[in-house]
Amino acid sequence: MAVLISILSLQAFADEPQAGKELEIKLTGNQSYLHVIHKGQSVRVQRVQDPEYVLKGYYAKTARKCPPFCLQPMQVDPRVATVGEVELFDFMQTTLRDDRGFLIDARTPEWFERGTIPGSINIPFTVLSKVGTPENDDALKLFGGKSRGEVGAFSRKLEKMGIINSEGKTDKWDFSNAKELVLWCNGPECGQSPRAIKGLLSVGYPANKIFYYRGGMQLWQLWGLTTVVPEG
């Protein structure tokens, strides 16, 4: 599906200095922008160049009823690393670019259609947290998991004893070649990606291959970063 650059990123492009001049508001101290493939198209991720830019609309709200909009812990699980924007930039330019991982928008499709972080695919938390469903199985296979079928009791016992390699393997799944995942949702008050992460952990997905972008769409837009929306 074709995508349109959001108003936010159009403003960034409009404010961009002429060719040959560096952007004044960069991603990091030594990087002005990056490119990421989103639905087959190259999208440039940069920040709005207007120093007077302020966040408006839904993501500018900081007071919502809790529950359900309660601040989430910095870590979903002690085994899962939490990342910020700079780490996400690096992931986009390495792991995501090399097809070794996925950037997952864990929100419901209605939210995804309003706009998403470039390079993201939409796999809702409702899918990832419902273990054993066909949709959940399909997602795990997409991530590189392989169904083991029937595993002999003796073979499984040897695996658990460490006599034969058991890394990344459960009774049902082989995650030996599973890809790295960065999951995010609407921001620090959103519990959707944490629920998705807990669902992945519950089926034995390797915790060292799961990352949590806690800032989500709220902090992404706070920093004036590029978003994309489906055409129409």
Q: What is the pLDDT of residues 210-221, one digit of tens each?
A: 999 999 999 999
3-state secondary structure the chain: CCEEECHHHHHHHHCCCCCCCCCCCCCECCECCEEEEECCEEEEECECCCCCCCCCCHHHCCCCCCCCCCCCCCCCCCCCEEECHHHHHHHHHHHHCCCCEEEEECCCHHHHCCCECCCEEECCHHHHCCCCCHHHHHHHHHCCCEECCCCCHHHHHHHHHCCCCCCCECCCEECCCCCEEEEECCCCCCCHHHHHHHHHHHCCCCHHHEEEECCHHHHHHHCCECCEEECC
Q: What is the pLDDT of residues 164-185, one digit of tens each?
A: 556 788 989 999 999 999 999 9
**To the nearest whole number, what is the mean pLDDT of the chain?**
89
Q: How confident is the model at residue 135 (pLDDT cuts 50, 70, 90)?
A: very high
pLDDT of residue 21: 66
Percent of the chain exceeding pLDDT 70 equals 83
Residue 183 CA to residue 105 CA, distance in Å, equals 6
Q: What is the pLDDT of residues 43-85, one digit of tens each?
A: 999 999 999 999 999 999 999 999 999 999 999 999 999 999 9
Does the pLDDT of residue 1 top 50, yes or no?
A: no
Q: What is the pLDDT of residues 181-193, one digit of tens each?
A: 999 999 999 999 9
Domain boundaries, the chain: 62-143+178-221
pLDDT of residue 148: 87
Does the pLDDT of residue 5 top 70, yes or no?
A: no
Structure tokens belonging to residue 27: 């991603």
Does the pLDDT of residue 8 top 90, yes or no?
A: no
Does the pLDDT of residue 142 top 70, yes or no?
A: yes
pLDDT of residue 149: 72
Largest Cα–Cα distance of the chain, in whole Å?
68
- Give the CATH superfamily of 62-143+178-221: Rhodanese-like domain (3.40.250.10)
Q: What is the pLDDT of residues 18-31, one digit of tens each?
A: 444 689 999 999 99
Q: How confident is the model at residue 151 (pLDDT cuts 50, 70, 90)?
A: low
Does the pLDDT of residue 12 top 80, yes or no?
A: no
